[in-house]
Amino acid sequence: MTESTTPSISNDELFAAIDLGSNSFHMIIARETHGQMQVVDKHKEMVRLRSGLDKNGKLTDKAFQDGIACLERFGQRIKDIPSKNVRAVGTNTLRNATNSREFLKQAKDVLGHSIQIIAGQEEARLIYLGVAHGLPNSDEQRLVMDIGGGSTEYIIGQQFENSHLTSTEMGCVSITQNFFPKGKITAENFNEATAKCRQILRPHRKTLRKKGWNVAIGASGSIKSIGIILEINSWSESGITLQGMHELSKALIKAGSAYSIKLAGLKDERRPVLVGGLAILMATFIELNIEHMQVSQNALREGLIFDTLGRLNAEDVREISVKAMQKWMEVDTEQADMVAQTAQSLYKQSHNIWNLHSDGYDLKRLLKWACRLHEVGISISFKRSRHHSSYLIAQADMAGFNQQEKQVLSALVLNQRGKYNPNSFDEIDESVKPLMPYLTVLLRLAVRIHRGRDLEHVDPILRIADDKTLYLEFDDNWLNDHPLTRLDLESEAKQVNRFGFNLKLLD
């Protein structure tokens, strides 16, 4: 008799997603099998980062160290998974903490991977992606809601495409802290908390209602917990209803505290933030006239896994974002593509010599996107157009891009020509900052070479003698046939010399 064995899973097949939320840190490890995501491991810790913010918006030493200790444990589990298969993101609290940069630096050391800070809109997009992949195929319009520790997201979409994203500054931790000091619950402070949540949501109510939905779906720990409590206590047959939440609120008010109440289905880890999440959810039902909400088991981390799979399978939403901004700002895409082609050629010739590689960053693609977006500011004004371009990239919600990637793009386009500003690199991740002058030179050369806007493919040879001595060689007589470009490149040689490069032209 032959004993059957289960094939072992190679680490190369695994994908990891880590969500550094304001209330809890989540890690999920999965593999792709037959076009589906199969979860092989999950781990969650209630770090409560948001509760660790002091009055100056700084993470306290305890919150800081608790977060780092948790990530060290996560790091042990994912240490053998390829870096391209790992995504780690920080949300509301890490967006706002004044010592976030120090935390991210230490976090990278213990986790072994960079942590990307994502904006509220990007958080909403990833949440919807994760929830949608956990639902049956349907043409129904969906409202998806996710309550985090510091923010709450609302998304309207069909199948895997969203049509509206909203992120609001209210979360289960922040509402609990602001309205329920020391965990005390009264009818008065619960009504005040609900009224405040309604006030925060009200500016978005008209747009959400106008778009409409066939089904409402809730994600996140707070919503899952409330759904379980309502069902176990027979306050709802399935899912979440407003009447069921009224019964839960009455029980909490009667008990006077979530810490002392004996309630079937309530886990101890959820007690500190239950009432804040309940106030947000009840306010949402009232403002949006929701009758019933289903509960999703998927959320942001599952969305990260599917987004990573999309990037690896050439379905990168960042490409769509770049094209959308080009269209919005009426960019000359043919010119932008010519600049990008030349920059990519220069990158190919230099990236090994200059070691233009950094974990967590696809520098080749970032350079390409900088080329394609370097003229977006012209639609505002030609004067100071590079400054306008830089500002637009930094401030726009661009699906798929995290905060650090947008900082790289913004700094590159700011320095595409004219006076070089090294101070623009101050906020950039330490692993990328030393490489920024090299990427900047490649962009500047590509922009200068295509000054004539004649849409001519140009593929010069770039020779690097001693790190910062560059020889740029063109086909016979090309520079003589393009006197404006020659003049521009001679001028550029003087500019790049000011930040350490020695450029020589060969014709």
Q: Is 445 exposed, middle or buried (0-12, 13-18, 19+ CB in 10 A)?
A: buried
228 within 8 A of 277, measured Cβ to Cβ: no
- Average model confidence (pLDDT) across the chain: 93
- CB within 8 A of 184, min separation 6: which ones? 256, 257
Give the pLDDT confidence of 299-350 residue by residue, as tens digits: 999 999 999 888 877 778 899 899 999 999 999 999 999 999 999 999 999 9
d(CA 339, CA 326): 14
363 within 8 A of 356, measured Cβ to Cβ: yes
Give the pLDDT confidence of 14-57 residue by residue, as tens digits: 999 999 999 999 999 999 876 677 899 999 999 999 999 999 99
| % of the chain exceeding 90 in pLDDT | 84
Task: Give the rounded distance of the alpha carbon of 24 from its chain centre.
Answer: 17
Q: Give the confidence band of 5 by pLDDT, cuts at 50, 70, 90.
A: very low
- Taking the CB of residue 486, how many other CB atoms lie within 10 A of it? 16
- According to the model, what pLDDT value does residue 277 have? 97
Give the pLDDT confidence of 229-263 residue by residue, as tens digits: 999 999 999 999 999 999 999 999 999 999 999 99
Question: What's the rounded mean pLDDT across residues 172-201?
Answer: 96
Give the pLDDT confidence of 414-451 residue by residue, as tens digits: 999 998 898 999 989 888 999 999 999 999 999 999 98
- According to the model, what pLDDT value does residue 459 have? 87
What is the reported pTM? Answer: 0.83
- According to the model, what pLDDT value does residue 114 have? 92
21-40 residues labelled b (16+ CB within 10 A) or e (exposed): bbbbbbbbbbbbeeeebeee
Element (DSSP H or E) covering residue 162: strand 161-168
- According to the model, what pLDDT value does residue 2 have? 43
C-alpha distances (whole Å) from 369 to each of 123, 344, 359, 432 are 22, 10, 18, 16
Give the pLDDT confidence of 343-364 residue by residue, as tens digits: 999 999 999 999 999 888 899 9
Element (DSSP H or E) covering residue 167: strand 161-168
Residue 452 above 50 pLDDT? yes
d(CA 342, CA 355): 19
- CA 203, 209, 213 angle in degrees (round to 5)? 140
d(CA 157, CA 163): 5
- List of E strands, 13-160: 14-20, 25-33, 36-45, 86-90, 116-117, 141-147, 152-158
- According to the model, what pLDDT value does residue 8 have? 66
All structural domains of the chain, each given as residue ranges with its CATH number in brackets, are 11-119 (3.30.420.40), 135-296 (3.30.420.150), 316-506 (1.10.3210.10)
C-alpha distances (whole Å) from 459 to each of 467, 468, 473, 474 are 21, 20, 9, 8
- According to the model, what pLDDT value does residue 30 have? 93
343 within 8 A of 368, measured Cβ to Cβ: yes
- CB within 8 A of 209, min separation 6: which ones? 288, 289
Q: Give the confidence band of 12 by pLDDT, cuts at 50, 70, 90.
A: confident
Give the pLDDT confidence of 47-77 residue by residue, as tens digits: 999 999 999 999 999 999 999 999 999 999 9
